[in-house]
Structure 1
Amino acid sequence: MIADNLVVDARTGRRTTWGELVQQSGPRPSPTAHVVEHSVDALPAVAALEDGGELLVVAAGRLDEALAEELRGAGFDLVAGGDVQGATSHRAAEDGRVWLLTSGSTGRPKRVGHTLASLSTVTGELAPRTWLCPYSPGTYAWWQVITLGLGVPGQDLVLVDPADLDDWVTPALEHGVTAVSGTPTFWRRTLMRHGAELRKLPLEQVTLGGEPVDQAVLTQLGEVFPEARVSWIYASSEVGASIVVHDGRAGFPVEWLDRDVPGRPRLSVVDGELVITSPHHGVDASGAELAGAVRTGDAARIEDGRVLVTGRLDRDELNVGGSKVSAGAVRDLLQSHPDVAWASVRGRKAPLVGTMVVADVVAGQGSDVNPDDLTRWAAERLPEYAVPRRIKMLAEIPAKETLKSDV
């Protein structure tokens, strides 16, 4: 632990250090699920992991009755402020174990186990930076930023709760933020809402992850922050941070496929699916390692020497009258339109062809682009069967607490 790294709660303006946080808590003898309203509330328990204990952090908004009973049955005490609900099945804590909950996009959230070491994938020295952490407490992305502040010298944190993200630029300017990590949805909403104000931020590092990253948003961020390194990361609870790209381009070089480099993940594409064998893998709820080749469930295609990760495999491939359409490819095309801030593409049942392509679109600030304009524009660039047949214009970019929308 880097005791003098700084942590700032943007909500209250309170500034503290990890050295002070570790004095506020100690390891509990039982596995503990800390239920928190705000990111900063979890940090004393995180700091206490240096001395042992077994920890899961979950945002209060995610904890429904079924999940609470499941965790208590798995041996976790639920701690929310001063309130403790004891486990219904007791066991000793596994010192140093950190549990994450998956997003639950394919069903109920699953527990994946890590350690601070497996969550801390940064190697080498980093320039001193002040990071904005906008993520929901306990998610993999949240832990990635938190472990930077906990374990890497010179990495200070400014914590902003997801509920307060409409105005994150103000505290970022106030507290000297120089690095920001967020999903593409987070960045698109920010670009749309804050515009010129963003250029006041002296950012040195801009990071995207958690959703498919397309060229349009990378290009926009490069233009707004010309002095910053713009990077995207592919990471998940199961395989850790497995792909990191710094060249400002969507996708990763095709030369990275099927190569074996000690200490680095092995990347493959099998039947259109991204497959990863990672040294940063976690364990499942039974403690069994998630080692070996992991089928990620994410669609990947090779185009112009790059491997593009386009979205969840079960949602990406649409069958339109016997012709295959990538929903992610159509989405990326729509998002490359100069008057489009965001797009989501999916299939809808239709007579004769079985499925037709439909889209939701948010126009850029001040744009009067309409569905007919976009349909004609797409028809000039896509096969006839891939052109969206219905386009619905939305007033604003939707976002969940996870900062994701089209996942």
Structure 2
Amino acid sequence: MTVATPRPADAGPEPAGVDNRLVVGGAPLTWRTLPSPELPNPAAVLVRSARHALATARQHAVHGIELLLSTAIRVDATMRAELHDAGFTVTVVDDDGAHPGAPARPRAAEPGRLWLLTSGSTGRPKRVGHTLDTLTTVRADQPDRTWLCPYAPGTYAWWQVVTLSLTQPGQHLVVVDPDELDDWPVVAAAHGVDAASGTPTFWRRTLYRDAAALARVPLRQITLGGEPVDQAILDQLREVFPTARISWIYASSEVGASIVVHDGRAGFPVEWLDRQAPGRPTLSVHDDELVVTSPYHGVGLSGPVRTGDRVQVVDGRVLITGRLDFDEINVGGSKVSAGVVRSVLTQHPGVAWARVTGRRAPVLGRMVVADVVLAPAGGSVDAALARTGGPAEHVDAPLPDEAALVRWCGDRLPEHAVPRRIRVLTEIPVKETLKSDV
């Protein structure tokens, strides 16, 4: 069953953003008017829609139940068993209320504890413990904004947007479910969205599918994170939104939001390395790996944390190129960064997206190969700008073929790093986490 306001007498104080506007499934709400599901404690809650996720988040904020929140697709049978053994009652929340599974092994709940599942990009997802306080990294007063939240419920990025709206008056929220993602610019424009956060893949996919519709959204704040952010996507967004503030954020479940860059450039200044300041993360590099010491870390992760992300210092900027396990390709004894090659490919005006990997090859052992999605005719950034009155220098430029892309890379990369095979895909692949499989 569900219970609506007024709240129970034993409830804690409402969060500061309780009267912020919410739009979920096209319906206007506020945090205050969300019905709250009755939940066991501790609970691992699997939700079927954005509205159920927001209601569960408010329930945690008011009552402090120990909570792990996720979509059902991210929690398979093995993970459900693991959660049960760890003392959670796995509970499905839908329009009919909360449906607890078999009771968990009895244990005392940890008040205020929030658990996040990592993305599992290097194996099975792991649980990382946080609180609303450690997930709330924006504390200074903010200008009024209406934010778009496209992320999967329960992910770190989702909690970042949700805690902003919960804790800051004037931070309104328009939430889109996965089946609305293709048309999110139309939804955003209709509800006055002027700030949006998404992965580079999310932004590339939107530009690829309908850049003209994106250009009609009155964005003043654009945020990217969750994947390596290269100069190409920053420049493309700047073309469409010349007056918006464009920021990229490095954040993870383990170390929280650790890097925030607003200058429109990929990477961060090398002067930030090993800089110590109270209340701020300390960034360092060891063996080409980013290491972060963060005040926003998860439980048991204090001190320096090896992130697993590879970095390179280029022209005074520290560039995050990708995961250590996947970024380095050994071509005949020479090391190639897949992220650097990907960045070169996406700088081509005819390329909307690229993935770079290594493939077995005689003599060399490995060779560089790539998949690309080409910018569609009439759907490029330049074409969108032309339809909205902006410059359009390359609207009629022919799309590149494999040979042209190989030459493009050959002019910008050492010989051993040039892709030997380039396959053209027809759609940008995207996971539920809004990331590509790169």
**Secondary structure, aligned partner of 2:33:** helix
Whole-Å separation in 2 of the counterparts to 1:57 and 1:24: 14
Q: Select the residue among 136, 149, 164 that pairs with 1:148.
A: 164
**Secondary structure, aligned partner of 2:174:** strand
Q: Select the residue among 275, 279, 282 that pairs with 2:291.
A: 275
1:3-402 counterparts in 2 under 5 A?
3-9=18-24, 11=25, 13-21=26-34, 24-25=36-37, 28=39, 30-49=41-60, 50-81=62-93, 82-283=98-299, 289-366=300-377, 368-402=399-433
- Tell me the residue number matched to 2:11: none
Whole-Å separation in 2 of the counterparts to 1:296 and 1:52: 30
1:75/1:89 contact within 8 Å kept? yes
Q: CA deviation at 1:170?
A: 1.1
| Deviation digits for residues 163-214 of structure 1 (CA, Å, limit 9, x no counterpart) | 3211101110111101000000000010111112222111110000000000
RMSD in angstroms over aligned alpha carbons? 1.2
Please identify, of 319-328 and 191-200, the stretch whose mean Cα deviation from structure 2 is larger. 191-200
Whole-Å separation in 2 of the counterparts to 1:397 and 1:388: 19
| Deviation digits for residues 194-245 of structure 1 (CA, Å, limit 9, x no counterpart) | 1122221111100000000000000110110112100000000000000000
User: What amino acid is the match of 2:21?
Assistant: L
1:162/1:403 contact within 8 Å kept? no
Q: CA deviation at 1:29?
A: 5.2
**Secondary structure, aligned partner of 1:360:** strand
Whole-Å separation in 2 of the counterparts to 1:52 and 1:83: 19
Whole-Å separation in 2 of the counterparts to 1:377 and 1:174: 40
| Deviation digits for residues 129-170 of structure 1 (CA, Å, limit 9, x no counterpart) | 000000011100000011011111100001101232111011
Whole-Å separation in 2 of the counterparts to 1:326 and 1:245: 23
User: What amino acid is the match of 2:307?
Assistant: T
Q: Which runs of 5+ in 2 are unaligned?
A: 1-14, 378-397
2:40/2:100 contact within 8 Å kept? no
TM-score between the two structures when normalised by the length of structure 1: 0.96
User: What amino acid is the match of 2:194?
Assistant: T
1:163/1:401 contact within 8 Å kept? no
Percent identity over the alignment is: 62
Whole-Å separation in 2 of the counterparts to 1:406 and 1:104: 12
Whole-Å separation in 2 of the counterparts to 1:46 and 1:396: 34
User: What amino acid is the match of 1:306?
Assistant: R
Whole-Å separation in 2 of the counterparts to 1:153 and 1:336: 39
TM-score between the two structures when normalised by the length of structure 2: 0.89
2:45/2:70 contact within 8 Å kept? yes
Q: Which runs of 5+ in 1 are unaligned?
A: 284-288
Whole-Å separation in 2 of the counterparts to 1:277 and 1:87: 38
Q: CA deviation at 1:51?
A: 2.3
Whole-Å separation in 2 of the counterparts to 1:5 and 1:59: 24
Whole-Å separation in 1 of the counterparts to 2:220 and 2:82: 42
**Secondary structure, aligned partner of 2:422:** strand
Whole-Å separation in 2 of the counterparts to 1:163 and 1:324: 41
Q: CA deviation at 1:123?
A: 2.7
Whole-Å separation in 1 of the counterparts to 2:125 and 2:213: 37
Whole-Å separation in 2 of the counterparts to 1:87 and 1:373: 61
1:29/1:92 contact within 8 Å kept? no
| Deviation digits for residues 335-355 of structure 1 (CA, Å, limit 9, x no counterpart) | 001111010101111111111
Q: CA deviation at 1:14?
A: 1.5
- Tell me the residue number matched to 1:286: none
Whole-Å separation in 2 of the counterparts to 1:258 and 1:123: 24
- Tell me the residue number matched to 1:405: 436
1:29/1:93 contact within 8 Å kept? no
**Secondary structure, aligned partner of 2:32:** helix
| Deviation digits for residues 356-390 of structure 1 (CA, Å, limit 9, x no counterpart) | 00000111111531111101111111111110000
Whole-Å separation in 2 of the counterparts to 1:60 and 1:253: 40
**Secondary structure, aligned partner of 1:153:** coil
Whole-Å separation in 2 of the counterparts to 1:162 and 1:250: 28
